[in-house]
Amino acid sequence: MKLMKGVLLVAAVLACAGLVASCASSGGGGGGRAPLGVWNFENPDADTMGWYLANNEFYQYKGATKLSRDDTTFGKGVLRIDVDYTGHKDSEWSEMKIANDFPKSIDMKGVDKFAFDFYYNPSLRTSGVFKPKIWSNNGSKFINETGIDIEGGENMGNGFLKAYVEIYIVPGAGFIPDMRLGIAGYLTDYKGPIFLGNIAWVKK
């Protein structure tokens, strides 16, 4: 697996005219209503906004994993994922995945990055880092991956750090019917919750 440091260049076609358009989203495991391309979890009745664990797509990861919504840890809605990388401490790419299947394919024209807030507790590991990966099952095409590290971040005062993650892509015209977000462990034994918030495809 080819890992890339820093900026992610995506050769596949991407887009997002639906960044501000709302529509129903059951997503196969979430429920509630979700704006296409933006997931800020502000509505407490929106559950996980369509996000679910893509269990059958995990790669070299067999730890216990649970996905839920959390409205209390940070005083606002976020996506909570309880993970366990302890059995993969020596792995350079142990990846669990979450997915969102859109009610209808979305046009991603003009989008140049994917971004989200990532919360983690450094005391829940002795080594290693996380690496994000994004793609879509765009027909027979695969939208790409990244090897950037998630490190550092703002101290939230409860043991957690908040890192702002940006994955830059090459804008293009086209539609995607779904997306996957992988959180890979790199030589890490992290065990405990991680949180995601303000998930969005972003235009220039």
In a domain, 14, yes or no: no
CATH number for 142? 2.60.120.260
Is residue 98, in this structure, part of any structural domain at all?
A: yes
What the block records as the tokens of 57 is 């797509």
| Alpha-carbon distances, residue 18 vs 6, 136, 169, 200 (angstroms) | 27, 16, 17, 11
In a domain, 4, yes or no: no
Q: Which pLDDT belongs to residue 139?
A: 53
pLDDT digits (tens, 9 = 90+) for 149-197: 999 999 999 999 999 999 888 777 788 888 899 999 999 999 999 999 9
Quote the radius of gyration of the chain (alpha carbons, Å). 16
Whether 30 maps to a domain, the answer reads: yes
Mean local confidence (pLDDT), 37-57: 92
Which of 124, 146, 126 shows the shortest CA–CA distance to 187? Answer: 126
41 pLDDT above the threshold of 70 = yes
Give the domain extent around 144: 22-200
pTM: 0.81
Task: With respect to residue 6, please indicate whether it lies within any of the assigned structural domains.
Answer: no
Question: What does the alpha-carbon distance between residue 62 and residue 96 come to, in Å, rounded to a whole number?
Answer: 8
| Average pLDDT value over all residues in the chain | 80
**Does 1 reside within a domain?**
no
pLDDT at 72 over 60: yes
Residue of 149, 160, 137, 143 lying closest to 184 (CA atoms): 149
Please list, in sequence order, all residues whose beta carbon lies within 8 angstroms of the beta carbon of residue 91, skipping any fewer than 6 positions away. Answer: 60, 185, 186, 187
pLDDT score of 138: 67
Please state the domain count of the chain: 1
Strands 111-120 and 161-168: antiparallel
Structural domain contains residue 5: no
pLDDT at 20: 31
Give the separation between CA 91 and CA 192, rounded to whole angstroms.
18
Please determine, for residue 73, whether its predicted confidence score (pLDDT) is greater than 90: yes
Chain Cα centroid distance, residue 52: 11
Beta carbons within 8 Å of 191's beta carbon, 6+ residues apart: 63, 83, 84, 85, 86, 124, 125
In-domain check, residue 108 = yes
